[in-house]
Chain A
């Protein structure tokens, strides 16, 4: 029982990390259809933001709290810049977008190497987050993992509210459902695209801050997670927030349970096999978007 509880918690916390990373992608990839290979580098930007802040603000707790909104802005601004400079010129050419953003990703990695040096760097977590909560009977929840879980859920909630309740959210949904009709109805789709990209990339920055609690910060840290994040979005159903939430946690728990009884690599293979099988059965993913567009 202890094992099951501990493993489920580990799985949920893996899922939370995946969810944080995938959330931004559900917007940029899911809603806009842009395969942004540089998404991982926005994660890296968020993580390095935390590192730079911690060097200037000595208190680990304060710097972490300041890092969250700041990383959102930094990564978001990078996303807007990328969208404005390159991606908006390539909206009808998805394969070119993939190649271009991959090139941008390599350039950003090299830039990080030149600025911060090739070796990875670390931040120290605030004392509050290095401990754990023990429920007795060997069941423990690591504080840092609980923090990431809380952060992920908060981001989901905020994103849902933005999409459902704000005028911007309404416009985003309108553009996703039928771009042409939205445009003739007077919505500046270019502007909406840019805002969507800003939020999506910003969320990657927030994910970067969370990752500093788990591991080291390095130029290639984003690429380690990006494939898993795309998997979450594809399995969840493109453009579906709730699909991503369910998939992220399901994949996390599946990975950790399999890993417990086998090894890291075998578990990874089994998860991928399960995903392939699932997509054979349901190629459109867990949830599908009903649109009124004719295409």
Chain B
């Protein structure tokens, strides 16, 4: 009898809690719509610290990659604070977990802007997560710094793209293959938007520049059966494979590739989604001698990189690799700092105006912000996987390439988009 009354009391308490939280969330929604009708969420810059948002997947399938980006962002913030902060204010990082789930990304982005009143947000990895948060940042007129190479064909006024667009990664990679006399290509990719878009660009390039695409195959994301695809590649008489496979399919593909007797010498594979971290997990024995295309490698020479690698390993453990997206994340905070200081204000519109021409001595070399496209001038680098699992540069574009997300400067690309 007494048990029943307790449970009834518990039920009542639970019901009132539900009522209270419903009231709270209604209230939250109200302030949300207020701020958006106010045309912008006011970032809070009144105190001696300002908040910056970090939006990465700290759990779920993308966590393996995004946690390293998160670490790099925290490292940059720590360094900036140690040097006196931005405009005399210390940065306070607010981390939100996107949980590898795209609607969650949008929800957390909104929370960062409206609840935490951050002055800028850094993060996202997959194009799907970027596309999910894009309308949020545009609605609240708040800034996102995106650190990963992507498929181009996008320019949001409220996103700064710090990773490479196609003309800074895929196009130079094709230039390199052509120069090596590897003109017959076989395209292998995962079956989703990035590989299909990339391959469309590759085919347009090949058609205009006298290269041939002898085959094209897509495997479902996560697929582990590559026997037939590798046989087709082998019989195709291709000079090289252009690999846009993503994630774990790479493991199965390279295992099959090696056991079929194909080697980096007989038919090199150029990959655009395999960085130092992935080399470790796929296994160096399968990748040694294969090619990659990025803007930064752990082995990139220069004092700025030596300092970055040393600082990262001191903070997160000896032997931890640094990769292109991590480097881009690291410099994105510094680039934002330079923009704010040039503008003399945290105000988004002023920061955007100040962005053009901002330069930074990055680990990858000097980078410059292109204010019009809100992308970054970056040097393209082709690397070769070495026996120790690091990637050694074999070619670079000689200097930073102007970002061209819509490939407007390339006549052969006119039929795309």
Contact = CB atoms under 8 A, between A and B. Distances in A.
Contacts of B59: 118
Contacts of A259: 228-229
B281 A260 contact: no
Interface hub of B60, B63, B227, B229 (most chain A Cβ within 10 A): B227
A263 B216 CA distance: 9
Contact of A120 (B229, B231, B251): B251
A118 B227 contact: no
A260 B231 CA distance: 8
A256 B227 contact: yes
Interface stretch (B257-265, B306-314, B405-413): B257-265
Interface string B245-275: 0001001100110111100000000000000
Given A124-B283, A265-B220, A10 B228 contact: yes
Interface in B326-353: none
B32 interface: no
Given A118-B60, A134-B261, A264 B232 contact: no
B252 A215 contact: yes
Interface hub of B222, B225, B232 (most chain A Cβ within 10 A): B225
B259 A131 contact: yes
B282 interface: yes
Contacts of A131: 259, 261
Contacts of A218: 248
Contact of A264 (B64, B217, B256): B217
Q: Using C-beta atoms within 8 Å of the partner chain, give the interface range for chain B.
A: 20 to 34
Contacts of B64: 117-119
Contacts of A215: 224-225, 248, 251-252, 255
A39 interface: no
B219 interface: yes
B223 interface: yes
A142 interface: yes
21 contacts: A10-B227, A10-B231, A118-B61, A118-B63, A119-B61, A119-B63, A119-B64, A122-B281, A122-B282, A124-B285, A142-B256, A142-B260, A143-B259, A211-B224, A214-B252, A214-B255, A256-B231, A259-B228, A264-B191, A264-B229, A265-B191
Contact of B255 (A121, A125, A138, A255): A125
A233 to B, nearest CB: 19
B235 interface: yes
A121 B285 CA distance: 16
Interface of A: 2-3, 6-7, 10, 13-14, 117-122, 124-125, 129-132, 134, 138, 140, 142-145, 211, 213-216, 218, 220-221, 224, 255-256, 259-260, 263-265, 267
A65 B177 CA distance: 42
B218 interface: yes
A119 B281 contact: yes
A1 to B, nearest CB: 12
Contacts of A265: 191, 218, 220
A198 to B, nearest CB: 28
Nearest to A119: B64
A218 B231 CA distance: 26
Interface in B13-69: 59-61, 63-64
Contacts of A120: 248, 251, 281
Contact of B217 (A124, A138, A224, A263): A263
Contacts of A213: 255
Nearest to B63: A118
A216 B224 CA distance: 8
Contacts of B61: 118-119
Nearest to B282: A122
Nearest to B64: A119
Interface hub of B222, B229, B281 (most chain A Cβ within 10 A): B222
B283 A224 contact: no
Contacts of A2: 235
B276 to A, nearest CB: 15
B191 A140 contact: no
B223 A260 contact: no
Given A118-B60, A120-B251, A264-B217, A6 B259 contact: no
B152 to A, nearest CB: 25
Given A3-B231, A120-B281, A267-B228, 5 more contacts: A118-B61, A119-B281, A130-B255, A142-B256, A256-B231
Contact of A14 (B218, B222, B225, B283): B225
Given A124-B285, A130-B285, A215-B255, A140 B222 contact: no
Contacts of B225: 14, 214-215
A263 B218 contact: yes
A25 to B, nearest CB: 19
Interface hub of A142, A143, A220, A255 (most chain B Cβ within 10 A): A142
